[in-house]
Copies of this chain bind each other. A is one copy, B any other.
Amino acid sequence: MKAYLEKINAFIAHLDTATLAALENVTVEKQFRKGDYLLQQDEICRYSFLIIKGVARKFYLQNGKEITTELFFTEDLAVSFRSYTLQNPSHEFIQALENITVTVTDYTAFQKAKNAFPKLVTLDLMMTEYYTMWLEERLFEFHSLDATQRYLKLLNEHPHILQSVQLTHIASYLGISLETLSRIRAKI
């Protein structure tokens, strides 16, 4: 599946200059400071954020508790998918966990660019497919792995995660309590 990311990057690299220019035209580089919100609940997700450097997370509130649903690392595209796609108010937040650098793409501008440059539709499709496969993988984890296995898999995929994401968020992301995570770690 990592291979598919390379395919996407190759696809971008081989775009004609006009399409590439159109793509670059709708993106801006931007910085956020640790703790900043890239998106707040009830806002419409009007931008996608490609992480250049740093870590962010996506979460929502359930009875006042934060449920972390996704962690974003370098090369990940941070959006609230549903809000972005439907241009509806989001029930999710996106927050920088460190000072981060991102390239911001405006939804409306990108849609217009897609109309003018059809290859961008293909690109959009490929990126969506990639996210979809990732989601299926994550669903598999919840369906078939216990807490320890999920933690080990995460560690395996992101060996340096402990340096940038606190255990509270990791536990929430794994769908377990902080205490359980702590005990899992103690046992290893």
Residues of A within 8 A of B (CB): 1, 4, 62, 67, 69, 81-82, 85-86, 118, 121-122, 124-125, 128-129, 131-133, 135-136, 138-140, 142-144, 175
- Known A-B contacts A125-B125, A132-B131, A139-B135; the reply to A144 vs B62 at CB < 8 A is yes
* Whole-angstrom distance between the Cβ of A10 and the nearest chain B Cβ: 15
Q: Is the beta-carbon distance between A175 and B124 smaller than 8 angstroms?
A: no
* Chain B neighbourhood of A133, CB < 8 A: 81-82, 85-86
Chain B residues within an 8 Å CB radius of A82 = 1, 133, 136
Number of copies: 2
Cβ–Cβ contact B132 & A69, under 8 A? no
The CA-CA distance from A81 to B139 in the complex, in Å, is 13
- The residue on B at minimum CB distance from A172 is B143
Residues of B within 8 A of A135 (CB): 132, 135-136, 139
For A132, the chain B residues whose CB sits under 8 A away are 81, 85, 128, 131-132, 135
12 example contacts (A-B, Cβ-Cβ < 8 A) are as follows A1-B82, A1-B86, A4-B86, A62-B144, A67-B144, A81-B136, A82-B133, A85-B129, A86-B133, A125-B125, A131-B132, A132-B135
Residues from chain B with a CB closer than 8 A to the CB of A85 are 4, 129, 132-133
| A143-B142 in contact given A132-B131, A132-B132, A135-B135 (Cβ < 8 Å) | yes
Option from B121, B122, B131, B139 in Cβ contact (under 8 Å) with A142: B139
Q: CB-nearest residue of chain B relative to A122?
A: B121
Q: For residue A142, which residues in chain B have a CB less than 8 angstroms away from its CB?
A: 139, 142-143, 175
